[in-house]
Amino acid sequence: MTAETVRTFSTGYEHYLEGAGAHAAVDLRGRTIVLDTNILLSLYAMHDKGLADLLAGLTHLKTQLFMPAQVQVEFWRNRDAVLRRHLDSARSQRHEQVRRETRALLPESDSRTFPAAERKAWEQRVTAFFTELRQTTQDDVLRARANTSLMNPAQDPVVTAMDSLFAGRVGPAPSAEELQVLRAHFDQRCLVGMPPGYMDASKTDGGYGDYALWAQVVDHARGAQRPVVIVTNDQKEDWWRLRRTGDPINARFELVQELGAEASVGLDLLTLPQFLDRLEAAGVDFDESTIDEVEAATSSANLVGAPEADDDPEWLVEQLVMLVDRLRDQGWTQHAQVLKEAVKSDLGMLDRAEVLRLLGKAADEKLTGFTRVFVTAQRQLEAEGILPLGLVPALAAQYDRPGKAPRFAVPQELVRSVGDLNF
């Protein structure tokens, strides 16, 4: 027996040896790229610049794209509800943030003069206020675009882009008989907890959508004979191997094994932010503002079927402490320090140079995905019921224009209430 044929304890199970950063090794070249429905619907939460950047990135992979018929069905079934969700929101989180800032600034503006020592701080605070106001105006533009898209789909930029990107790349719709067989297979798989989709089995429609998508991907892969990358923000355990915190590691082994057996090709799952990381590695350049917007657009609060958030909750100091502790527990000690320093600052914000210094980075380095750590930790605490839904991000990038964020800020209620808390 040669060395090449000697089996080891891990032979056949190498997938389990991949860690939480496994996505960084995924090479998109030569692979079939499948975008889940939640990815396509999240595009409606993106402003014009971020949407254009993301669509340009997808254009680089146009010949590799494939849309299962189930994705097409779910997109059109949920599109109107997503657009109405943008329209029905009486005020966005940024509207609420501006309201809070106004409430904090106006009483102080009653003074006729400012001491020279306070003038610079006041000017910085007003600048940050108008940054939030500008972003709120962009949200109004987003709602106007949603209204136009709902009333006249021919002017919907998402639909227009999908028609171009997926022309000739949409899988065949199953017949009624094929759907009946598919549902029967799904029911049998649910009995033994075979992924994907078994966590949706209690849905009123039978919950077979994820399995329908998967079966169509497998069928396509048999003919295409290319490894598959599925981009999804569905982070349930019937798709992913998960860390204790609920964060995804990689695809369920059963899915990798099934696609290998049925089509002799490999499988990777990526979230949309991870997918953008891989696009950047392939030479597609994204602004930091686009990456941050993708994070926001793909948050659980923007997905179809997400639980309703509490009405405009404000941060409490005790909640901030729990978030800092979670960051430390997961090894993000420098990020925790940034959050602490921002809260302790007079204005509740740090400029870019100070953030880079605290992170130990060079002055010209990009901060792409920097706020993702805070968003991820906050989502974990929300999922565990420790934080209420609907809180604004604990640390948010502030942009004067698309590109690099000049500053990062915490909610003003934390600045006003943190006092001399030592944490």
Domain coordinates of the chain in residue numbers? 24-125+150-304, 307-423
pLDDT of residue 35: 97
| Token duo for residue 226 | 């290319």
Q: Percent of the chain at pLDDT above 70?
A: 80
Average pLDDT, the chain: 83
**Residue 125 vs residue 379, higher pLDDT:** 379
pLDDT band at 303 (very low <50, low <70, confident <90, very high): very low
Higher pLDDT, 235 or 216: 216
- CA dist., res. 37 & res. 70, Å (int): 8
Instruction: Judge whether 386 and 372 are in contact, CB under 8 Å.
Output: no
DSSP H or E stretch at residue 172: none
Spatial CB neighbours of 79, under 8 Å, sequence gap ≥ 6:
41
- Residue 170 DSSP class: B
Per-residue exposure over 350-369, b if at least 16 CB sit within 10 Å of its own CB, e if not? bebebbbebeeeeeeeebbb
Check whether 334 has a pLDDT greater than 80: yes
Supply angle C-alpha 378, 195, 264, rounded to 5.
115
Q: Three-state SS for 20?
A: coil
- Supply φ then ψ for residue 13, to 5 degrees: -125, 25
**Mean pLDDT across 12-34:** 82
Cβ count within 10 A of residue 326: 21
Measure Cα distances from 125 to 132, 346, 349, 415 in Å.
11, 10, 9, 12
Residue 373: helix, strand or coil by DSSP?
helix
Q: Are strands 267-270 and 228-231 parallel, antiparallel or unpaired?
A: parallel
With a CB cutoff of 8 Å and minimum separation 6, the contacts of 150 are 80, 83, 84, 87
* Parallel, antiparallel or unpaired: strands 240-242 and 228-231: unpaired
Block residue for tokens 């943008």: 86
351 SS3 class: strand
pLDDT at 346: 78
In this predicted structure, what is the pLDDT of residue 290?
A: 85
Instruction: For residues 163 and 165, give the distance between their C-alpha atoms in angstroms, rounded to a whole number.
Output: 6
Residue 301: which pLDDT band, with cuts at 50, 70 and 90?
very low
With 80 as the cut, is the pLDDT of residue 111 above it?
Answer: no
Comparing 18 with 237, the larger pLDDT belongs to 237
At residue 146 the predicted structure's pLDDT band, cuts being 50, 70 and 90, is confident
pLDDT at 104 over 60: no
